[in-house]
Amino acid sequence: MDGVLDLPASNLANAASERDLDAFEREQRFLLTRAQTVAFLRAVSAHAVPELHDRARPLSFTRTTYLDSVDLAYLRSCAGRVARRLRLREYAVASNLTEAPLLTGLCFLELKQSAGTVRSKVRLAAPRRALERLVAGSFDTDTDLDDALDGDGAGRAALATLRAEVVSRRPVPCLTTWYRRSCLSGESGRVRITLDQGLSFCEPQRLGEAGDDATPSAIIARGPARIVEIKLQGEAPAWLARATASLTPAPSFSKFQMGMAALRRRAA
């Protein structure tokens, strides 16, 4: 990676966390050079503000563990009309780039489906041990999860969908990705822009507790230096269309696919 880019320090906003944002309908993805990224951020700075969730530890990181079935159903879906990914997601924060990033304790199980730029996501927040049991298929011991979701219609619907997914596929952890993520929000939350830097592919990592060192072990490969993703509700506003007009989308790029390819190369 040829240097880390920081979002502007001005106009910092305590916007809604990524964990609450799963209603986006469309997604665009770009692999950019440093110069392209700087120009893009400058172009959108008057319309989108950086999200800051912890002023004492402003750097945010994402650790995602992908799951797949024995027959690699999710990986194979990436070549079909609808790409499907099942993943466990955790977040970490740090005060600077030399400090070890620490897990926040937030854990999620997600089923993401994409067809071109159209996307949907089912997301369930739960304690680490409950999600581990859910992925393992130990549904008879999920009473704490059921009780926690009592009265939460959306949460119970997500749980039912994800339970059915686990029953039908019996997935296991196969790959973990790790990167620093910066976020901007615009149009009253209808536009969300993320910049991922330092993408690494790793052996599957176990879910951790709040305060654990999130630095991944067993890194097997590195990914693109800068990945910009734009998530939209509805059509892109004019300012965003102008900012992306000279950029080349990367609709086929997938962290999951690239990481699994790296695993296969290492095993060969």
- 7, part of any domain: no
The pLDDT assigned to 17 comes to: 40
Distance CA 197, CA 225 (A): 5
Q: How confident is the model at residue 150 (pLDDT cuts 50, 70, 90)?
A: low
Instruction: State the pLDDT at residue 5.
Output: 66
Identify the CA nearest to 63 among candidates 239, 204, 157, 192: 204
Sign of CA pseudo-dihedral 234, 126, 17, 250: negative
pLDDT bucket at 197, cuts 50 / 70 / 90? very high
Residue 13 lies in a domain: no
Q: How far apart are CA 23 and CA 142, in angstroms?
A: 27
| CA 108 – CA 123 distance, rounded (Å) | 7
In a domain, 10, yes or no: no
From 47-61, 167-181, 191-205, 206-220, the region with the lowest mean pLDDT: 47-61
Quote the domain boundaries for residue 81: 18-267
What is the arithmetic mean of pLDDT over 78-107? 95
Comparing C-alpha atoms, which of 58, 54, 82 is closest to residue 6?
A: 58
Domain with 141 in it: what CATH number? Answer: 3.20.100.30
CB contact set of 159 (below 8 Å; sequence gap of 6+): 124, 134, 145, 146, 149
pLDDT for res 16 = 34
What confidence score (pLDDT) does residue 155 get? Answer: 83
Closest C-alpha among 59, 165, 80 to residue 121: 165
Predicted confidence band at 139 (pLDDT cuts at 50, 70, 90)? Answer: low
How many separate domains does the chain show? 1
pLDDT of 143 reads 62
Decide if 80 is inside a domain: yes
For the cut 80, the answer to whether the pLDDT of residue 151 exceeds it is: no
pLDDT given at position 216: 87
Q: What is the pLDDT of residue 3?
A: 59
Average pLDDT score, the chain: 88
pLDDT band (50, 70, 90) for residue 67: very high
Asked, for residue 9, whether it belongs to a domain, the answer is: no
- The candidate with the shortest Cα–Cα distance to 57, out of 211, 252, 199, 178, is 211
Going by C-beta distance under 8 Å and a sequence separation of 6 or more, which residues neighbour residue 86? 66, 67, 68, 74, 109, 110, 111, 165, 169, 171
Strand partners, 208: none
Better-predicted residue by pLDDT, 71 or 3: 71
Give me the mean pLDDT over the 125-130 stretch.
90
pLDDT the model gives residue 250 = 96
Would you state the structure tokens that stand for residue 219, as one six-digit string?
A: 């890194």
- The answer as to whether 211 is a domain residue is yes
For residue 250, the 8-state DSSP code is -
> Which range is most confident: 55-59, 116-120, 163-167?
163-167
194 pLDDT exceeds 50?
Answer: yes
